[in-house]
Chains A and B, each alone.
Chain A
Amino acid sequence: MNFWYSFLAIVVLVMLLLPTAAMLVWVERRLLGFWQERLGPNRVGPYGILQSLADLIKILFKHDWIPPFADAKVFVAAPLMGALAVMMSYAVVPMAPGWVISDSHIGLLFFLAMTSLAVYSVLLAGWSSNNKYALIGAMRAAAQTISYEVFMGLSLLGVVMLAGSFRLSDIVLAQQEGWFILPQCLGFVLFLIAGIAESHRLPFDLPEAETELTAGFHTEYSGIKFALFFLGEYLGVMLISMMITVLFLGGWLAPFGLEGFIPPIIWFVLKTFVLISFFILLRAALPRPRFDQLLAFGWLWMLPLSLINLLVTAALILGGQ
């Protein structure tokens, strides 16, 4: 691939990602509205579709406030780091054959590494704010993220074994015989839960539990810096949905032998959208657990389960040879 082709692909990707994340905010507010028997935002543009654009314009003209009691450099760097860490993972996600910025042979590891980096943003944001709520929120976020990250990697090892590669497009192509959700149903559930916890979505949004911590680690953030955290959260939801699609739902492959008349990217987008809607439904449906229950669940159930899943998968693959 030459330079300009890659550059064009990058520009297109970013220009698609950011508006999609903004649209997602509207979709979520709208869906939550319907599930709670109200309308949600419906004033700006047809069906309120331009709500996020209006919010963006408002946010751009807000006071860019840096607290005088905060550690200014870290305070500014933290939201940037958070949004960047999430954005970086998209570089390795193949959306259709050849539609990827870098089809890296360590794509899966790159994704895991970038997801881990997000915890620094949260921790630094909470610490540099010099606010007690922010500090507790950040500590909780860090404890939760690292607890769920341990088995996030483990739950994917079954997929790696089946596909025999870390390259995400190889993993998709290895699913032509059948999607990995069937042989890896336990791995799928584990990764789904880890993904929700990593993107700090309900029911795992304890770091920003507003009833007890006001807004958690971003209590002191406002204006564009808050928007970057917000953007990171929605990009995270989209990223986890895309990764589940790629790893367990056959990526761009068509289901039930329907190849031919619908382009691969449509299947990819459809599958991702179904998963995103599921994430939003979770938020509408589930209450928040207690913090110690959350951690105990991660360590005492999810971690042993993912290890057992790994061993059983390995034994089946070796035995079936």
Chain B
Amino acid sequence: MALAWAELWPILLYFLFTLTLLAGVMLLSSVLGPKNKGHSTDLPYESGILSYGGARVRFGNHFFLYAIFFVIFDMEVLFLFAWAISLKESGWMGFIEALVFILVLLVALVYLWRIGALRVKAEERS
């Protein structure tokens, strides 16, 4: 616990210092800058075309799918980290277990690819 704290507090101090500095610069700019208002200052920038409707619209869910895959595969990385650091201690038994684990996930990846879940365009998906 003492060791962890000795390594952590400089990071905390660094965080506070950087936060103060960056927030200070932002504050400084908001004080120094002018506050002009032209006839189209407060319009959203959409390449010179007047904006039609808000941006809170519904759109395809494929980005959501990627987020789900990320959760699945990044979890895998979490377990593999623990294996990588104890590689020599866990030996060949650990290797075989990790191999089975990785193979299961590779099969899952192939399955996802085969059903077209990794494609962006909806019409390519089956």
How many of chain B's residues touch chain A, expressed as a range?
A: 35 or more
B44 and A220 contact, CB distance less than 8 A: yes
* Nearest-CB residue, chain A, relative to B72: A150
Chain A 187-227 per-residue mask, 1 if CB under 8 angstroms from chain B, else 0? 00000000000000000000000000010000110011100
Which residue on chain A has the smallest CB distance to residue B91? A318
Please classify how large the interface on chain A is, using the bins under 10, 10 to 19, 20 to 34, 35 or more. Answer: 35 or more
In the assembled complex, the Cα of A97 lies from the Cα of B21 at a distance in Å of: 27
What's the Cα separation between A147 and B120 when bound, in Å? 13
- Say which residue of B15, B41, B51, B118 sits within 8 Å of A296 (CB atoms): B118
18 CB contacts below 8 A, A to B, read A63-B35, A84-B22, A91-B15, A101-B10, A101-B11, A101-B14, A129-B55, A132-B51, A133-B45, A133-B47, A142-B67, A146-B74, A153-B74, A157-B81, A228-B26, A299-B113, A311-B102, A321-B88
Task: Closest A residue to B121 by CB, please name it.
Answer: A292
**A28 on the interface (CB 8 Å rule)?**
no
Interface positions of B from 6 to 32, Cβ below 8 Å from A: 6-11, 13-15, 17-19, 21-23, 25-26, 28-30, 32
The residues of A with any CB-CB pair to B shorter than 8 Å are 1, 3, 6-7, 9-11, 13-14, 59-65, 67-69, 76, 80, 83-84, 87-88, 91-92, 101-105, 109-110, 129-135, 139-140, 142-143, 146-147, 149-150, 153-154, 157, 160-161, 164-166, 214, 219-220, 223-225, 228, 291-292, 295-296, 299-300, 303-304, 307, 310-311, 314-315, 317-318, 321
